[in-house]
Every structure is written in C-alpha cells, then in structure tokens.
A and B are shown apart, each in its own frame.
Chain A
Amino acid sequence: MIVSRRWLEELLGQPLDPKDIEERCHGFGAPVEAVVPLHRELADVVVGRVLEAGRHPNADRLSLCRVDAGGADGPVEVVCGAPNVTAGKAYPFAPVGTVLPGGVKLERRKIRGVTSNGMLCSARELGLGQDHEGILELDTAAAPGTPLLEVLGMADDQIHIEVTANRPDLLGHKGVARELAASLGARLRLPPIPGAPPEGATPALHAVPTRGQDRGTVDGLEVRLEYPEGAPRYLMAVVRGVRVGPSPSWLAARLTAVGQRSINNIVDATNYILFELNQPLHAFDLARLRGPAVVVRDARAAEPIVTLDGVARTLAPGMTVIADAERATIVAGVMGSAESEVTAATTDVVVECAYFDPPRTRRTRRALGLQSESSYRFERGIDMLAMPDAMRRALEVIVAVAGGTVREPPLDLWPRPQQPRTVFLRPERVARLLGVAVPRADIERLLSSVGFVVAPKDERLAVQVPGWRPDVTREVDLIEEVARLRGYDSFPSELGPYRLGTVPDAPVERAKSRVRETCVRAGMLEARTMPLGPADGPDAVALANPMSVEEGFLRRRLLPGLVRRVAHNWTVRNRDIRLFEIGTVFRQGPGALPHEDIAVAGVLTGARRPRHWTDGEEVPDMDIWDLKHHFELAVASAQPDAVIRPGAEEGWDAVLEPGGEVVGRAQAVRTDQPAWAAAVFGFEVRMAATEPSPAAYRAMPTTPPVERDLALVLGSGATAAAVEAVIRRVAGSLLESVAVFDEYRGVTVPAGERSVAWRCVFRDPGRTLREQEVDAVLTRVVRALKEELDVQRREG
C-alpha cells in the first residue's frame, strides 16, 4: 500500500516527518518498505523574481533579465526566450547545475554572446503540464530562493507500507492516519473537499437505510439485490447533469502521489474515496443501463461475459454479477464492463457503493485470474457500517469536481442489517496472557484511541468493535490490541522458570545425526539437493501443479539427485567428489498422503586420498572396495540390523532378515562424464530410527595370541564369505579373529582359480594356548573346507 505523506498531513492537520512516520508505522504493525520522495528532480528549482527584463543586445526574440533567486551573490543575469517575461513577477528558476526532467543538465553558457546563469522554466520543461507558450507565472509572495515544490504544494513522499492480510483498514489513508493519530496524540479529521458545499447543506446526500429490503428505486432507477450472500449491503445513488472532464489539480495530485493515473473527474472521484476511506466504488453511465435497472445476482452456470479488458470469460454460480434489465456486464468487485463505463458523453452517473462477500470475491478473482485495487480490498473486508458515509463523501466529491445534482438520497439495500460486534474482555486475562498487569484505565484508553468503544460490564469490559476491524472477533484479539498499542517493546523480557516438556527428542533426528557423523568421518561432504525432479519409478509421487516438467515429481531416491550434483561439479572442473545427503524420499502410499522415508545416500569419485609429495606417483582413484567400505559404514549406522550381500549387478545389497527386505544398495553408477573424470560409485540406504544399544565393555585379554596364516585355493564357485563361515564355525571359540590379507591369481594357481590368504588369530583368554592345540584346530578347519567347499590349502 502506498500512502502519501501530504495526504496524511491533511487528515492529521500537522506536518509529518517521513523518518518519524516510519518508526511509528513499524510500531503499530505496518512496516515501511520504502520512502520515495516525489518530484525529486525539481528539488533544485526555486522561486526567481525578475527585477529587470530588457532586450538581449544581439537577438530580437530574446530578453535579458536580472533575476533575484535568493543567491548570496545577489541577482544573476539570465537570457530568456519566453514572450511573457515581465519585471516584478515570479517564475520557476533553475540555477546552473540543475538536472531538469528529461535528464538535461543546465550549464553556464553564452547565448548570442551573453552569459546566462540559469533558466526561467515553462510548465512543460518542469514536467508539470503541456503548456509551453511561456514560462510558468507563479502567483506567490514567497521569497526568492524558496523551493518551487513548497510554493506549489507538491513536495510529497510516497510511503510504501506493508499491510498484513488482517488489517484492511490500513488500505486507506484514513485508517493509517487513525493509527498515527493514536500514536501521536493527534486528532483525525477528514479534510474539506475544495468546492463542496458545507456539510449538511445537501440533505439528499444522506442515505436512509431501507431496513430489511432487497429492492427499491432511486431517481427512477430500479435496483434489485437478488443475491445478498454475495452482496450483503448495496448502496446506489444517481447524479444527474455532470460534466465529465479532467480533474482539478488537487484531485489529480492526490492520485498521482499514490501512483495512480488521473483518468477523468468521475473515475478520479471514486478512486479518491477508495484511497481515502478504503471503500471501492463504481460509477456507471445511467443512459447505458437498460431498464434502467441494476440487478445484483448470482452468476448462472457457464454464463458468458466480456470484461472491461475486452476478454470473453465464462462465469459460474458463486460469482456475483451486476446486470441491467437484460444481461450481466460486471463481475462484482473484480472487474467492470466496457459497456457501462463513464465516458466524455456521460451526463447522468450511477454510483455504486457495495460490500461484496470476501471469500466469494477471492474465489472469483482466483478463478478468473484477475486482480484489482477493488478486489484486493473486498477480499479483505471493507467497513460495512461506514458505507453511507463513504457514499455521501463520494457524492460530495463528484458534485464538487464534475457538477450535477443529487435529487434523491442514495438507496441503501441491507436485507439483514448488522449491529456492531461486541467482544468482552477480562482485564485479568490481559495480565495472564501478557505477563504484565495493564491497569484497566490504560486498557480503556488504548482501545478507545483507535475507535473501540469500551464500557464496563461486571468485572469485564464490553468492547464494541468498529466496522473497519473485521479481524477483531474474540477476546484474544483485543489483548493483542492492548499489547500492540502499548508497544511490544514496553514489555519486559526476563527469562523465568519453565517446566520441561513431555515430548522426547524424535528418534529419527538422533539417528540422522549419528549417520551424518559417520559419513563426515569417512571424509564425505554433506550436500542438499532439490527434492523435486523427474519421475523415478512407477510409484513416484506427482505434483498436481508443478512449476516445470523437470520438477514434476517428488524424489523417490536421493542418489539420482546426488549424481546430478556430481555432474554439476564436473562442469566447474571438480574431480574428487565425495558427497552424501540425508533426506526425505517419497513413494505413493495406500492413503491420500504419500509414504515418506528418511534415506542416506552417497557418491564417490576421484582420488582415494589427497596426494602427498611422498606418494611419488598418482594416488589411485576410488574403486568398488572404497564403495563397499563407505556402504558398510552407512549401513552400520543407518540400518544396524541389516546384512550386506553381493547384489544383482556388480554391487551389494543391504538386507533385513528374515524377510529378505532390501533396504540399501551400492554399485557403480554409469553416467555421461568427461574423459578426465573418474569412475562414479553410489549407495543409498533407507534409515531405521533405532537407538543403538550401549556398547558393553569386554576385558582385554592378557594371554598371548597365536597367529596362523591360511592360504587357500578357491575354485570359481567358492566365496570368501563361505570360507570364512566354515573357518569360524569349525575353529570355535578359540578363534579370536580371521581376516583376508591377500588374493593372488597367476601362474602358480590353476586358471579360473585364485589363492586367498587369511590371517587367523587364536587366543584363550584364560590360559596360554599351546601351538599343538592350534595346529589341531587348523587341521580340522582344512579338512572341513575340503569336505564342504572343496577348497584346498595352497601347496608350498
């Protein structure tokens, strides 16, 4: 919302400082986004009084003037080309250095041999109008040197305030001024309309509510309110004999100051009321209403309409329309019609002052994709109780700026009249919520300052809510008003005691934190990727209203997103990349809500470790054994109960037994990659939010170990895991650990077979093992391997 500082000054009857307004607006809840001084380009132009005007010595059409522009060095010589320059009169004077509208900077220069120290300006040169017949004569007694903007009353600031959706009253200058008046201790009063008769002089401007009625006539115009759900209150007036034309300068200036274009005196008058009182109005040409009648009704199914922008649209029930005797021409509160607009030929004007139902207006506006200053206000709710006042002031303005007469009071259709709402407030509840006992007298004073009417009622206060505050419906809203008007900063902020809550930490958050730590310790960098992407499987969850096809689905896995991030890193020549992410993945679920899981995924590519100068040659790139290590770490922390098995392709699965459910997968990732990039490996594990049981202490053995190396020749069918299982089972409790330390394929091993060597460590924690015992165990192991797996000990 843009407010004009001058407009506020008129309403408050005192000068305002933009910085001060900014502070106060912030304090009452409408933060200022920007303050834009208007006509900045004219700031250097001053009043110049022409002391002497003589002929230019070298040019017939030019005059040479001595101008007092208030400068300390006395009057200056100025060459002027205008025919109307007259000694003794005042004109706008632009000194050397001024940049005029259009961007021309005035230089000191010689004109036909005489130096001119500035310029006397025409209206057009100042961007104030089209008049270029001569320089602008100023009817002022102001001292030479006074800024022109002050003399013309045009100095103004646009104050852009942010208005929250609950405060429609702040969408008009009066509402903003009301809050400022409370803050400043000033008095709010509507300024008189220039040229309007004194108040009360025209009784016909005052509407008389037709309580309970939904139809009537005003000055020969029939009005029927057939859809009070869409328009609970509807006022209409007729002004006959207007002269449509340009607005007077005061009216045009008001609208320009809030960023609106001046259109004609009738439209400008309605817009003036919109921005002053926050009451949208509509003016139609009576001659173009068939009937003449105005019918407010519900739109029919698939009812066609051509709106003011020339677009053919289709309406639906629930949208309120304004029709004449034949057909609908206006979508109520949203958009008018070209047919009934006021034109230069209009003489009799119909003025509509309506309350359109906020939710219906919003639905209609969204369905039609239209938005206007009016619909914005109707959606938020205007002051239903102040409509007759707004209508009266609108008629005053119209008559003042366009002439014409109002022969009959406005018709006021209000089938179900409403009383102002009363909300009860318990002073002790104020203390209970705000933590400060605000004295009852202060509560009354604060609420009254912005228009609430407060009366004691038992131990409570009965608070009548003004019509412009549709947001105040219950006690807590009044408590907010008390806090707001007292000032949030006036409340202390000392931390008091509190009770611990009943909500335990979410297990999944703790699990995520453990998995993160694991991945970071493994040298991986945490990434965040967009959860929206292309479809990734038949049970991917689609967005009903995506912003693009590439981002039409929720991610089903994290890994594809991470691989895309690897590709991005390649574009900036990063080669060594180890990323992981923990995030939500989505699948279609049995109900309306999708199924959500938390997953961890990682990608690895590039050097196994940073190259050190002692390494000599290049460090090897990561391979599937690096992948397996990272996968094992991730599974151990994210799915502690899962076991890892070779998977379908060259990779591994993490499997939950006994069901065999696959909860994780690791494999090489095939992707288009630059020639210099290394192979990419990826894994993903669905997380379980299980708390690990605390690690139990085991006494460190004091007896010595016995180590034995066991080199075995494995045929094509035998796996290391199977061999190890046999070793462990047969060796029993004396075996402390067993681990592969070598694999060999080559000339000394038959083709298709390989030699794998294990180091076995035996130990009895209670006594020193004898070599012969260990040899006996090993003999049993070798025999079992031969029998069960046909695996032999390697010769020699």
Chain B
Amino acid sequence: MRDLLASLDGLRGRLPEIAQADAMHLQQLRTELLGRKAGALTAILKQLATLDPEVRRTVGAAANALKGELEAALDARVRALAEIAGDEAAHDLTMPGRTAWRGGLHVLTQVVDEVCDIFREVGFTRAVGPEAETERNNFFALNFPVDHPALDAQESFYLGDDVLLRTHTSPVQIRTLETHPPPVRVVIPGQVYRRDTFDPSHSPVFEQIEGLAVDEGITFVDFKATLAYFARRFFGPRTRVRFSPSFFPFTEPSADMAASCSVCDGRGCPTCKQTGWLEILGSGMVHPAVLENCGVDAERYTGFAFGMGAQRLAMVRHGIPDIRLFFESDVRFLRQFAGRGR
C-alpha cells in the first residue's frame, strides 16, 4: 500500500509540469498519465480490484482525487493555451470589451492648463484672485483714467458703488505686486465678466489667462521672445508671430500679438478670415504708473504683461464655432474632448 501511495505522490509531482506544458507536450502527458491503455494512473486504478477492501478504499480515494486534479490541471492548461492562441472558435474577439464611464476635463480647463504649463516651462507660477473687485484694483490702479473712453470696452456688472465683477484678470497683477517683491513671474487664469450679450463670439462671462513678469532688466526683447515661445509651443513649431502697436492703459508700449493661422499655415482660410493671422492676445511692457501704484520702483524694475481669452484659443484650436457651447454642458460636447471612450 505504501508503494502505491508513493507512486501517487510521484504522479502528483507532475502537476507543475502540466502547468508549463506546450500543446504537444500536454498531449504526451495526458497519454502518459491518464491514457486508457498505458497511463500510469490508469495502471494504478486497474490494480485496485486486486487489493484488500481497506487498502482499496484508502488508495482508491487518493487515486480518484489525483485523477480529478490531473484532469482539471490538463483542462485548465488546454484553456490557457487556447486563450494564448486566441482560439476564435471559443470567442468572437471582435465583440466589444467591457467599459466603464469615462470622465473628462472641460476643453477650457485643458486649454488653460496647457497654456499655464507652457509658461511654467519658462518660469511662471500660477496665481489667482477674486472675481469681485474694487474699481481701484480693476481700473484705477491699472492706470485707467477716470471718465476715459478706454473704459468703454469694459462695460461692467456692478455690485455696489465701487465694487464690480472684474472685467479682466489684470487686477490680480495689482494684488500680486502689492504682496510679492520682484522678481515676479505669474500666469493668472480666471473667469471675467463683461456686459456683453451672448452671440457666437461674445459671452458676458469668459475665461482669461493673464501673465505678468517684473524684474530688473526685463526688456521688450524678453517680452517678444517669451510670447513667441508660447505661440510656437501652443500652435506648433512652424508658427510665426506678429506684434503690432495697440493700447491698454496698463502697458506701454502696448502690443497685439497675432500668430500665423494654425489651420491654413498662414495661407488664408475661414478661421483666420483669409488674413493668415489669428489675433491671440493683448500685451505690452508694464506701465510704470502701475508699478508706482503698487509701490514698486519703476526706475529699477521693468516687466511685461499679457492677457488672452481661453475660449478664443479653444475655438481656434478645436474648431468650435460658437462660444455658447462652452456653457451648454451637453454631454455629447463634453465627451468629444474627454478622450476616447464613453
């Protein structure tokens, strides 16, 4: 009896071999162990009839258990091999896989993050400020004269006598300069408000990205270089930029920056209204009056500032025709920018 049990243990020792076997070896193992004529276990089972009833019971139970184990191991290996081989008879592998709901960031968030990340590459950190502001921070500290036509472009929602919803992210320039000594290098994303009625390209609320760099020795050349770097990183390495004189009370010199149209590569198309150029941002060297208003020595420090509309960048980049789509929150719209999946 002991010999028989030892033989069974020896056969059980073949289990790891089964788990590693390839298809041909597996067939050999099945014949060798369980073959009807010459299988090793079959031979033991055949002997059972000749044994004492007590021994027969013990050995029989062990042998049958082992038979079950071996069969299970052999079958499992067959299935595993079939799976590895991609057994087309078993599954139609063109059937769809199991999915989960897929979340996604709003396209505006993606654009804002991308812009901020590009500026991070050239040393800009991310700052924010409140959406309700004083007239002083929103206008007058930024060198807007009282009763000046420059205010016309910034029709505002007022909350009280001298409190309004910020019309641009520029008041955060003031807050930053008043609390941090130069050097300052920040980008400031945020929601801004203007009393414009909704149409395909206007919204009373939109997202702006402001930038501010102030230090000793910052020049117009640094200003142009930094923004050109941004344009090439955002729109592609072949992008050309064009700066032209403009007017903002808080910058001097002031400039508008256009980038060669990323859709038509500057040849002219509906996106760039056949001009080959896309107006991207307003910018300039920080006006010394702004530095003075914030207690910064304007003789010693210079800097540059810029502001751009995130919706506009997203519309150009993704071909979105109407600014209202950003606020509609139709899940079919949101999903288009959430990556592949449901």
Contact = CB atoms under 8 A, between A and B. Distances in A.
A614 interface: yes
Interface string A689-722: 0000000000000000000000000000000000
A205 B320 CA distance: 60
Contacts of B326: 528
A506 B184 contact: no
B105 A495 contact: no
A495 B255 contact: no
Nearest to A588: B159
B220 A498 contact: no
Given A499-B183, A520-B103, A532-B204, A613 B288 contact: no
Given A592-B134, A610-B99, A28 B127 contact: no
A16 interface: no
Contact of B176 (A499, A503, A576, A586): A503
Contact of B247 (A166, A433, A495, A496): A166
A435 B204 contact: no
A635 to B, nearest CB: 17
B132 interface: yes
A763 interface: no
Contact of A525 (B134, B150, B338): B338
A357 to B, nearest CB: 10
B159 A543 contact: yes
A501 B185 contact: yes
Contacts of B113: 513
A772 interface: no
A525 B330 CA distance: 10
B167 to A, nearest CB: 13
Contact of B103 (A435, A506, A523, A596): A523
A494 B134 CA distance: 38
Interface string B220-250: 1110111011000000000001111111000
Contacts of A513: 113
Given A494-B221, A496-B221, A569 B330 contact: yes
Interface stretch (A74-82, A132-140, A215-223, A482-490): A482-490
Contacts of B123: 498-501
A501 B186 contact: yes
Contacts of A245: none
A495 B123 CA distance: 12
Contacts of B217: 432
A359 B160 CA distance: 22
A778 interface: no
Given A26-B244, A477-B252, A488-B243, A609 B100 contact: yes
B118 to A, nearest CB: 13
B221 A579 contact: no
Contacts of B168: none
B224 A541 contact: no
B253 interface: yes
A574 B330 contact: yes
A568 B329 contact: yes
Given A26-B244, A496-B225, A520 B125 contact: no
Interface stretch (A187-195, A452-460, A544-552): A544-552
Nearest to B218: A498
A780 interface: no
Interface in A461-485: 474, 476-477, 479-480, 483-484
Interface string A348-363: 0000000000111011
Nearest to A607: B101
A174 interface: no
A250 B255 CA distance: 39
Contacts of A509: 126, 128, 189
A544 B158 contact: yes
Given A503-B127, A545-B158, A29 B246 contact: yes
Nearest to B130: A596
Nearest to A517: B105
Interface stretch (B34-42, B74-82, B141-149): B141-149
B244 A31 contact: yes
A607 to B, nearest CB: 8
Size category of the binding interface on chain B: 35 or more
Given A506-B128, A523-B100, A433 B302 contact: yes
Interface string B135-170: 000000000011111101100011111110100000
Given A484-B253, A516-B109, A493 B228 contact: yes
A434 B220 contact: yes
A645 to B, nearest CB: 27
B245 A165 contact: no
Interface in B191-220: 191, 195, 197, 204-205, 213, 215, 217-220
A492 interface: yes
Nearest to B158: A544
A125 B265 CA distance: 46
B108 interface: yes
Contact of A577 (B220, B222, B226, B331): B331
Nearest to A541: B159
Contact of A574 (B159, B327, B332): B332
Nearest to A573: B332
Given A501-B184, A519-B103, A547-B195, A474 B288 contact: yes
Interface in A517-553: 519-532, 541-547, 551
A483 B99 contact: no
B182 interface: yes
Nearest to B224: A493
B287 A476 contact: yes
B106 interface: yes
Contacts of A744: none
Given A498-B185, A528-B106, A565-B329, A362 B148 contact: yes
Contacts of A379: 149
A380 interface: yes
A436 B253 CA distance: 14
Contact of B221 (A360, A492, A500, A527): A492
A594 interface: yes
A476 B288 contact: yes
Contact of A489 (B148, B181, B221, B243): B243
A497 to B, nearest CB: 9
Interface string B242-284: 1111110000111110000000000000000000000000000
Contacts of A502: 180-184
A686 to B, nearest CB: 16
Contacts of B162: 592
A572 B330 contact: yes
A505 interface: yes
A705 B185 CA distance: 54
A739 interface: no
B225 to A, nearest CB: 4
B149 A362 contact: yes
Contacts of B145: 359
A543 B132 CA distance: 11
Nearest to A510: B126
A166 B287 CA distance: 14
Contacts of A741: none
A506 B153 CA distance: 30
A593 B195 CA distance: 19
B145 to A, nearest CB: 8
A500 B185 contact: yes
A459 to B, nearest CB: 15
A594 B130 CA distance: 10
B53 interface: no
A314 interface: no
B183 A547 contact: no
8 contacts: A380-B149, A435-B221, A436-B220, A513-B113, A578-B101, A578-B103, A584-B191, A613-B96
The 5 A-B pairs with the shortest beta carbon distances in the complex, nearest first, are A435-B219, A29-B245, A523-B101, A435-B221, A164-B247
Given A165-B150, A476-B252, A480-B252, 16 more contacts: A28-B245, A488-B244, A491-B221, A492-B221, A494-B225, A501-B182, A502-B182, A503-B184, A506-B127, A513-B113, A520-B103, A527-B106, A542-B159, A545-B157, A572-B330, A596-B132
